Amino acid sequence: MLDIENLHASVNGTDILKGLNLSVKPGEVHAIMGPNGSGKSTLGHVLAGRPGYTVTAGKVTFLGQDLLELETEERARLGLFLAFQYPVEIPGVSNMEFLKAAVDAQRERRGEKPIDAVSFMKTARETCKAVDLDPVFLKRGVNEGFSGGEKKRNELLQMMMLQPRLGILDETDSGLDIDALQVVARGVNSMRSPDRAFVMVTHYQRLLDFIEPDFVHVLAGGRIVRSGDKSLALELEARGYAWLEEEVA
Amino acid sequence: MSQEHIDEAISREYAAGFVSDIESDTLPPGLDEDVIRFISARKGEPDWLLEWRLEAYRGWQQMTEPKWAHVHYPPIDLNAVSYYSSPKSMKDGPKSLDEVDPELLAMYEKLGIPLHEQEMLAGVAVDAVFDSVSVATTFRGKLAEAGVIFCPISEAVHSHPELVRKYLGTVVPRKDNFYAALNSAVFSDGSFVYIPKGVRCPMELSTYFRINEAKTGQFERTLIIADEGSHVSYLEGCTAPMRDENQLHAAVVELVALDRAQIKYSTVQNWYPGDAQGRGGIYNFVTKRGVAHRDSKISWTQVETGSAVTWKYPSCILRGDNSVGEFYSVALTNNFQQADTGTKMIHLGKNTRSTIISKGISAGHSSNAYRGLVRMSPKAAGARNYTQCDSLLIGDRCAAHTFPYIESRNPSAVVEHEATTSKVSDDQLYLCQQRGLDAEKAVSMIVNGFCKEVFKELPMEFAVEAGKLLEVSLEGSVG
Ligand SMILES: Nc1ncnc2c1ncn2[C@@H]1O[C@H](COP(=O)(O)OP(=O)(O)OP(=O)(O)O)[C@@H](O)[C@H]1O
Ligand SMILES: [Mg+2]
């Protein structure tokens, strides 16, 4: 579903990704780990098409299309979702209005009419419950004054409402209490299906106890330097990254 | 959002920019006493009104253009302006809608103005001022039943001279300021409204203004009198064709709310703003003011998206005890537009209250200033004001300014002022786009959210219109 070949990308003239390869098939869950500043979030933004992130070489195919040719919003409508490491606030725009506009944008691409308000509200309320957010959050401004953990759960809420083909979760587990971590895990697990895949960026093996990954990759210096199964995460937890970075050097 | 996106979004075309092909009677440019006599004679005005105009003209000659506003434009040659233009076919005035020039009606259709029966069912009575002449006032019968007078002011001069003479110039004196004096000298038409004691006007009253002729100024004058205990809601809409040269619009609006009366005055102003390079557009220099007597309320709501240069401060003189003044404003500037707008709340009576909610949105290279005065006079014991003044910037080539003036001469008066400035950030747009929204939709959603508090004050059918207008004015502005 997602094929990344020799991806090079820069931000503000600084090269961050330096020849990254990754292949994700439908139904799979990939975990990406790696030191701070190694380029994990950059990868997510490059895939999502964040303005200012320049691809200097390489190729990315998503669902058979040349992903890098598509506008940011087209990538999203095609089913690529990025849960942000640092969700931004949009004061004055209610979560509900925002979610409905997002859902309708996807429907429009599929040639469907906007969702009717009643069934939308019903789904939104149920999904709130699933991510353990009070439905009053639907009426508040997007992320406006939300706590760190609430913002993360709000990202999950959006992902569950949009039902993407590929979910990229950038440290959605960071800053969550243990109950909230379970909520996120339950949400992701409930969405796992043979035609959907996840790429989860995390620093903690803990998350992987709840969401079992098919692959674990280590991103360092802008490249995937090691891939393995779940046991790689345990090894990293025990030994840190220094030995890997040395090996690569 | 990238700069190209911003540029593209800002470059939306002006939808009301057609010119109507209507034969008209236009006075050659220039202003002197003869022009004023001509205008007055053309309208068959009584001598007192001619004298009133001439007095204003003589005062105006001694005055100079105000320079304090935060706007910049080349000197206006007031002798190159024509002070009177009326559609030719209207010379004898239409008696009913059937007599109105079909071209005119077609034009109003284009503007989406509800002149015809089916739209009248919506309960909107419309007075349409085309260039300088009021062409049709709908729904008079129903209003007459309630005793409401709603007609062109030129007609009221004849049909209700006592009311016009009693109130004209009492709220905005003839020599109030340069543009008000000019208007007093040359005003050609506008709306007149009188709501009798205790009457709730049975429908929204509405006026649409349009400047059509090239090189014409529009100087309309509106006078609304709400007698004791009456209620009225009035809406004005404005558009003008696209022209390369600038055109002058200098209106005066006077509101009188007698004891316990309530006047709600809403404006959706979409005068041609000029093109993306800043050529053309309307110079909008307007004086709007209301006097609120005991226990009365005056509420100004405005959505301003048009004009090249705007200079406008709808104000309330809270003369009577317990009177209330409100000002809700959305002012949007794009491209090279400049706006200096705000309000004055003059608290004279005891326990008077005022609320000011101002939302300024700047995009492109535009400049948007809020200028507000809150004055608590020594007698205004227990008076209160709350001001909230928010600016939203789109892109990084525009500017927002806030000039609040507070003069409190009564220790028991309370004045609260809050101001914020925010930016539609690239990160917000990116978030929206990552969720599948295009940049234009995202900006319009953010801007509408920003304006929510003001839109909810508009009469319902116009709140939708205002939302759409913002969307059109912004398309391309931030992505
Ligand atoms: N706008 C920018 N200008 C310059 N450098 C940037 C910019 N954005 C990111 N970088 C740099 O790119 C590198 C990779 O950043 P990125 O956010 O992808 O790291 P990360 O792997 O997600 O780290 P963390 O685990 O701390 O979240 C960092 O060195 C960062 O400072
Ligand atoms: Mg990161």
* pLDDT of amino acid B202: 86
pLDDT the model gives residue B116: 45
- For chain A, what is the radius of gyration of the CA atoms? 18
Chain B residues touching A52 at Cβ < 8 A? 426
* pLDDT tens track for B188-211: 888 899 999 999 998 888 777 665
As a three-state string, the secondary structure of A164-179 is CCEEEEECCCCCCCHH
Please give the pLDDT value at position B120: 38
CA distance B281 to B376: 37
* Residue recorded with tokens 């950038």: A170
User: Which of B55, B267, B94, B263 is CA-nearest to residue B173?
Assistant: B55
Cα B2 to middle of ligand 2, angstroms? 23
- Band (pLDDT 50/70/90 cuts) for residue B9 is very low
In the numeric block, the tokens 């050529």 are attached to: B279
Indicate the pairing of strand B124-130 with strand B133-137. antiparallel
Angle in degrees, CA B341, B344, B349, rounded to 5: 165
The pLDDT of residue B97: 52
Residue B176's pLDDT band (cuts 50, 70, 90): very high
Return the SS3 of B413: coil
pTM (two decimals) = 0.81
Residue B156's CB: how many other CB atoms inside 10 A?
21
Going by C-alpha positions, the residue among B88, B130, B139 that lies closest to residue B105 is: B130
Amino acid at A188: V
Q: Which of residues 128-157 of A touch B (CB under 8 A)?
A: 141-142
- The pLDDT, as a whole number, for residue A90 is 93
3-state secondary structure chain A: CEEEEEEEEEECCEEEEEEEEEEECCCCEEEEECCCCCCHHHHHHHHHCCCCEEEEEEEEEECCEEHHHCCHHHHHHHCEEEECCCCCCEEEEEHHHHHHHHHHHHHHHCCCCCCCHHHHHHHHHHHHHHCCCCHHHHCCEECCCCCHHHHHHHHHHHHHHHCCCEEEEECCCCCCCHHHHHHHHHHHHHHCCCCCEEEEECCCHHHHHHCCCCEEEEEECCEEEEEECHHHHHHHHHHCCHHHHHHHC
C-beta atoms surrounding A190 within 10 Å: 10
Are residues A51 and B432, on separate chains, in Cβ contact within 8 Å? no
Do B132 and B214 form a contact (C-beta atoms < 8 A)? no
**CATH class for the domain made up of A2-248:** alpha beta
Q: What's the confidence (pLDDT) of residue A205? A: 87
Q: What is the DSSP letter of B129?
A: E
Share of chain B above pLDDT 90, in %: 43
Q: pLDDT at residue B31 above 90?
A: no
- With vertex at residue A217, the alpha carbon angle to CA A152 and CA A163, rounded to the nearest 5 degrees, is 40
Alpha-carbon gap: A242 to the closest alpha carbon of chain B (Å): 33
Report pLDDT for B3.
45
- Give the nearest partner residue to B428 out of A51, A88, A97, using CB atoms: A88
Q: H or E segment at B421?
A: strand B414-424
* Chain A: residue whose CA lies nearest to B441: A101
Interface pTM (ipTM) of the complex? 0.95
Q: What angle do CA B91, B94, B100 make, to 5 degrees?
A: 100
Between residues B397 and B326, the one the model is more confident about: B326
Residue A64: which region, alpha, beta or left (left: phi > 0; alpha: psi -120 to 50)? left
Chain B partners within 8 Å of A170 (Cβ): none
Separation in Å, CA of B325 to nearest CA in chain A: 25
Q: With an 8 Å Cβ cutoff, are B449 and A92 in contact?
A: yes
- Chain A 67-106, residues with CB within 8 Å of chain B CB atoms: 71-73, 76-77, 81-82, 84, 87-94, 97-98, 101-102, 105-106
> What whole-number distance in Å separates Cα of residue B446 and Cα of residue B427?
13
pLDDT at B364 over 50: yes
The residue ranges of every structural domain in chain A are 2-248
- What backbone phi and psi angles, to 5 degrees, belong to A102? -65, -45
Alpha-carbon dihedral A53, A54, A57, A63, rounded to 10 degrees:
60
Shortest distance between the Cα of A90 and any Cα of chain B, in A, equals 6
Report the nearest atom of ligand 1 relative to the CA of A38.
Answer: 21
Residue written as token pair 């506009």: A101
Ligand 1: residues within 6 Å at CB? A 11-12, 14, 16, 34, 36-42, 85
Q: Are A97 and B431 a contacting pair at CB < 8 A?
A: no
3-state secondary structure of B355: strand
Q: Any CB–CB contact under 8 A between B446 and chain A?
A: yes
Average pLDDT over residues B160-173: 96
Closest alpha carbon to B341 in B322, B313, B319: B313
Q: Which residue has the tokens 């304090």?
A: B68
Tell which residue, B206, B260, B191, B205, has the closest CA to residue B230.
B260
Is it the case that residue B383 has pLDDT exceeding 60? yes
Q: Which of A8, A18, A32, A42 to mutate to test the pocket of ligand 1 (most atoms within 8 A of CB)?
A: A42
Contact A87, A143 (CB under 8 A): yes
Single out the residue of B285, B311, B289 nearest to residue B300, CA to CA.
B289
User: Which of A41 and B96 is assigned the larger pLDDT?
Assistant: A41
What's the mean pLDDT in B446-451? 88
Q: Give the pLDDT mean for B91-109.
A: 52
CA distance B224 to B85: 24
Q: Would you tell me the crossing angle of helices A95-109 and A148-162 to the nearest 10 degrees?
A: 30
* Predicted local confidence at residue B294, as pLDDT: 98
Going by pLDDT thresholds of 50, 70 and 90, the confidence category of residue B93 is: very low
Closest CA to B83 of B47, B36, B130: B36
State residue A105's pLDDT score.
Answer: 94
Distance of alpha carbon A146 from the chain centroid: 19
Burial (CB < 10 A; 0-12, 13-18, 19+), residue A228, is middle
CA distance A230 to A31: 9
CA A65 and chain centroid, separation = 19
Q: How far is CA B336 from CA B215, B308, B309, B425, B454, in A?
A: 21, 7, 9, 21, 24
Of A178, A140, A168, give the one whose Cα is nearest residue A62.
A168
Q: What CA–CA distance (Å, rounded) separates A134 from A146?
A: 12
Identity of the residue in A48, A92, A158 whose CB atom sits nearest the CB atom of B450: A92
Q: Strand order in B231-239's β-sheet?
A: B133-137, B124-130, B204-210, B231-239, B262-270, B297-304, B324-333, B353-362, B384-394, B414-424
Interface residue B70 vs chain A (CB under 8 A)? no
Least Cα separation, residue A245 to chain B (angstroms): 32
Across B256-265, B272-281, B306-315, the highest mean pLDDT is recorded for B256-265
Q: CB–CB of A61/A245 below 8 Å? A: no
State whether A101 and B434 contact (CB < 8 Å): no
For residues B444 and B238, which has the higher predicted lDDT (pLDDT)?
B444
CA A53, CA B89: separation in Å to the nearest integer? 62
Q: B239, B271 in Cβ contact below 8 A?
A: yes
* Of the candidates B454, B184, B308, A97, the residue with the CA atom closest to the CA atom of residue B467: B454
Q: β-pairing, B262-270 with B252-257? A: unpaired
Q: Does residue A142 register a pLDDT over 90?
A: yes
The predicted pLDDT at position B281 comes to 79
Cα torsion A206, A207, A213, A218: sign = negative
- Whether residue A90 and residue B436 make contact (CB cut-off 8 A), yes or no, is no
Dihedral Cα A46, A50, A51, A57, nearest 10 deg: 10
Asked if the model's pLDDT at residue B104 lies above 60, the reply is no
Span A30-44, average pLDDT: 95
